[in-house]
Amino acid sequence: MNKTLMQKQIQWYPGHMFKSMREIRERLKIIDLVIILLDARLPFSSMNPEILKTVKMKPVLLLFNKSSLADPNRLSYHVQKYEEMGFTGLNIDAISRMNVNKIHRLAQDLLKDKLERAKAKGLKERPIRTIILGIPNVGKSTLINTLAQRKAARTANTPGITRAQQWIKLSSDFELLDTPGVLWPKFDDPKVAYHLAITGAIKDDIMPLDNVCHYALKFLKQYYPDRLLERYEIPHEMDDIGQMLHQIGVKRGALLKGGAIDELRVYQIILTDIRNKQLGGLTFDRT
């Protein structure tokens, strides 16, 4: 990852994210269960390692959101990997509500022993306190609104909307603490930064669009060449990125006077098509 990219990356860890991590650590003392929301298209790249370290002493439920946008075969592989690490996971889609109704029951199951011990001691019953954590733009607010069956959290198609923590009552026995999306200050693997940028967890003006889209095309060429053929008529034997960009520009009418391609429009087309499933279900983490 070059120096300019590293500088931009550091600028993307603003003060409110540092503050949020400090507040999360403080709040965990009263939390029964941690819900970590992951992007099903990047099950490992969207896992904040700082969050994983912070919550290691609490029961954790992993929710793989946007699963309808992911490659189902690759997603199953990654879910199994997490299960081998001892985590309980569930594939969901907050927008279509797929499997969202199973979250409450899973939370109760994970806390069954704790709840039974409290009951045996004669302690007064209280709502389960959960906290939902995840990176920006992973769909936390949409999920919360779906669970609460009302507009309890602000939603938007760009990262960084939620800036403060807030308690939300989901039912008489289920309370959830919403938190801002947080990234971590340094990505050890440059691929993680690209995956986050491609899927919109990092704002589009943080990393150079040409680098991001070149990486995306190389990835698609390696793992999903048939999708490129179907969507843009890019033949399997075409390997040159410049030629692929030109082909997309021609196919989608992103041309300037004189026949040159409008590169910015082509980059926007690629990212929009990826994010809106125009290239089918994709999973970017491959190991």
**3-178 is classed in which CATH architecture?**
3-Layer(aba) Sandwich (3.40)
| Share above pLDDT 90 across residues of the chain, in percent, rounded to a whole number | 67
Residues 112-141 have a mean pLDDT of 91
Q: With bands split at pLDDT 50, 70 and 90, how would you rate the model's confidence at 3?
A: very low
Q: What value does the mean pLDDT take over residues 139-145? A: 91
Q: What is the pTM of this model?
A: 0.89
Burial of 53 from C-beta contacts in 10 A (0-12 / 13-18 / 19+): exposed
Lowest mean pLDDT among 11-20, 58-67, 76-85, 255-264: 11-20
Q: Would you state the structure tokens that stand for residue 259, as one six-digit string?
A: 């026949």
Average pLDDT, the chain: 89
* Mean pLDDT of the 129-144 span: 92
Per residue in 12-66, pLDDT (tens digit) is: 555 567 777 888 889 999 999 999 999 999 999 999 998 988 898 899 999 999 9
How many C-beta atoms lie closer than 10 Å to residue 270's C-beta? 26
Fold for the domain defined by 208-275? Conserved Hypothetical Protein Ylqf; Chain: A; domain 2 (1.10.1580)
Cα distance from N-terminal residue to C-terminal residue, the chain? 20
Q: Are 160 and 181 in contact (CB under 8 A)?
A: yes
pLDDT of residue 124: 86
Residue pair 142/155 in contact by the 8 Å Cβ criterion: yes
Same fold, 3-178 and 208-275: no
pLDDT tens figures, 158-206 = 444 444 578 899 988 999 998 888 888 778 888 999 999 999 998 888 8
Domain boundaries, the chain: 3-178, 208-275
pLDDT at res. 119: 87
Q: Averaged over 71-81, what is the pLDDT? A: 96
d(CA 160, CA 163): 7
With CA atoms as reference, report the closest residue to 158 among 193, 207, 205, 191.
205
Rounded Cα distance between 17 and 83, Å, is 29
